[in-house]
Amino acid sequence: MAMTDTSAAAFESEDFAALLEESFDGNDVLEGSVVKGTVIGIEKDLAVIDVGLKTEGRVPLKEFGAGAKEGGISVGDEVEVYLERVENAMGEAVLSRDKARREESWDKLEVAFNANEKVTGQIFNVVKGGYTVDLDGAVAFLPRSQVDIRPVRDIQPLMNTPQPFQILKMDKRRGNIVVSRRVVLEESRAEQRQELVQNLAEGQVIDGIVKNITEYGAFVDLGGIDGLLHVTDIAWRRVNHPSEVLSIGQTVKVQIVRINHETHRISLGMKQLEADPWDGIEAKYPAGARMTGRVTNVTDYGAFVELEPGIEGLIHVSEMSWTKKNVHPSKLVSTSQEVDVMILEVDPNKRRISLGLKQTLSNPWDHFADMFPAGSVVEGEVKNKTEFGLFVGLEGDIDGMVHLSDLDWNRPGEDVIEEYERGQMIRAQVLDVDTDKERISLGIKQLGDDPFDAASDTVRRGAVVTCEVTVVQDNGVEVKIVDTDLTAFVRRSDLARDRDDQRPERFSVGDRFDARVTQFDRKTHKVSVSVKALEIAEEKEAVAQYGSSDSGASLGDILGAALQSGQSDDDEKKDS
């Protein structure tokens, strides 16, 4: 049966809807992807491309690269483009050759990134923090720190030049690619260094070119690999800075001192090519020999003196002056000054020579000892007062010391020193001169008579002396021995035999009493007296004369008889 008009119309309507829906589905899939198209025309700077969607799109010729406008593409050529939209407001497809190339590049770059392979690109622009790199359509970021092994001051020689890069990071969703040129150079240099190091050996002598100079040495190019020539290996003599000897670009002959095959670091030396001046140094510079040298460096602890190229000695600050002990070495010597020195000690193992400057000058201590032997009287200025004595300036710019104990025969030194002032001129006697320790002992009290010498005839151990109280204290009394310049201290326990009478307060200043000398030491100048000792001695003597242990007499009777006898003797002396 033939199809009715109504049914035919319904079929055609359904068929058209299906075809339209299919067409839309296909377009949705194509949008945002790379499609193939055919160049159907060229209009001015645009290429008209048919991508098979019953619509056409236009792409600027410049997106097809250099030469496109002059015939790089032509009608009928098949090209790949990126379909952004199937149809815009003007009914044309929105196409991009650049985005198509970028999509192609991303796919290739992802493969290279996953395989850790290098890619080729060109630096074409400067941005904040680095540069942009064209990786065959994809734009990558090159940080400034990743351009070269060393900082690059001028980027122009590297612009728009194809060169290898290593991809460090990729993020397609954000469209970020980070690349490095430095990694490629480091790998290349490492391979080159390894090959060069294998051809070098320790002890080998080789020519190199000074590439860079620092405070600690110089880097020398050995033909593709650098070695470090440390400042201490440039010469046997002291080199304060490598620039004193070397200059950039200078060709030098060096010896390979050490090679680290793991880090590929090479240590070089120049002084190793010359004879070691320290060989046989002890015979050349014997202790006690006098030499002339040049001051090369002055420090807080002394000065270095060059005796010959490569041989330096140290004058310690303590060996610079006989008299100036607390002066900075720069006040005594200066750099480049020629000085006479004496060899004090040579240590070839530690490569050290100890020198003396003062030893080449006359020793003021020896001169003083010759001029002023012990017993001489000198005059000088009080330079300083300390807790243990006076320092006196003497001839030859040296000092002598008067100890507290040598200020006065009788009074404590702590009291006497307060009578002296800095700058005061005084006289003193030389007691001792120690030239080795550089010490001179002086005495002021020795200028006067020793009271012990004057009193030695009357004051001796066991003698009975008359004492006059000068000071009363809680623990005893200070006394002066009458008719002498001697003083003594009587302790509480020595004031009487009976404990009840051992009271210092029963005495007053000016009181006199007899006491027995219990100590008289000339060396220490110490004298001690005791009332108790005198009472005991008198008791023993009375017992010996007037009684005995078997006579039956009491001690009171004996003492009474002794006192009466003593009184009778006194009366007889008065009558006579």
Q: Tell me the per-residue pLDDT of 545-572, one tens digit each, with 9 for 90 and over.
A: 765 544 444 445 545 555 555 555 555 4
- CATH H-level superfamily of 364-447: Nucleic acid-binding proteins (2.40.50.140)
pLDDT in tens, 541-552: 877 776 554 444
Core vs surface per residue 498-533: b (16+ CB within 10 A) or e: eeeebebeebeeeeebebbbbebeeeeeebbbbbbb
Residues 193, 263: Cα–Cα separation, whole Å: 10
**Which pLDDT belongs to residue 9?**
47
Average pLDDT over residues 170-187: 87
DSSP 8-state class, residue 525 = T
Any idea what the Cα angle at residue 260 is, between residues 256 and 261, rounded to 5°? 110
What is the CB-side half-sphere exposure of residue 402 using CA atoms within 13 A?
32
Residues 13, 15: Cα–Cα separation, whole Å: 6
User: What residues have CB less than 8 Å from 438, skipping those under 6 apart?
Assistant: 322, 365, 398
Assign 265 a pLDDT band (cuts: 50, 70, 90). confident
Alpha carbon 170 to its chain's center: 48
Architecture of domain 35-100: Beta Barrel (2.40)
**Which pLDDT belongs to residue 88?**
66
Helices vs. strands in the chain: H and E counts, helices first: 9, 30
Residue-averaged pLDDT of the chain: 82
User: What residues have CB less than 8 Å from 304, skipping those under 6 apart?
Assistant: 238, 295, 296, 297, 298, 312, 313, 314, 315
Q: For the chain, how are helix, strand and coil distributed in percent, rounded to 5?
A: 30, 40, 35
Residues 173, 180: Cα–Cα separation, whole Å: 21
Check whether 48 has a pLDDT greater than 90: no
Strands 226-230 and 265-269: parallel
Looking at the domain covering 285-360, what would its CATH class be?
mainly beta
CATH of domain 116-186: 2.40.50.140
Q: Which residue has the higher pLDDT, 476 or 75?
A: 476
Domain covering 451-546, topology: OB fold (Dihydrolipoamide Acetyltransferase, E2P) (2.40.50)
Residues 134, 285: Cα–Cα separation, whole Å: 71
Architecture of domain 200-273: Beta Barrel (2.40)
200-273 has the same fold as 35-100: yes
Cα separations in angstroms, 16 against 4, 52, 86, 493: 18, 19, 20, 144
Residues of the chain with pLDDT > 70, as a percent, come to: 84
Task: Write down the domain spans for the chain.
Answer: 35-100, 116-186, 200-273, 285-360, 364-447, 451-546
Sign of the dihedral defined by the CA atoms of residues 281, 284, 288, 289, in that order: negative
Residues 315, 358: Cα–Cα separation, whole Å: 10
Under a CB-based contact definition with an 8 Å cutoff, are residues 206 and 229 in contact? no
Check whether 2 has a pLDDT greater than 70: no
Assign 251 a pLDDT band (cuts: 50, 70, 90). very high
Q: Which secondary structure element, helix H or strand E, spans residue 243, and what is its range?
A: none
Cα separations in angstroms, 434 against 366, 367, 398, 443, 448: 9, 12, 13, 15, 24
Average pLDDT over residues 47-52: 76
Check whether 573 has a pLDDT greater than 60: no
Check whether 391 has a pLDDT greater than 90: yes
Per the DSSP assignment, residues forming a β-bridge with 118 are 166
Assign 39 a pLDDT band (cuts: 50, 70, 90). confident
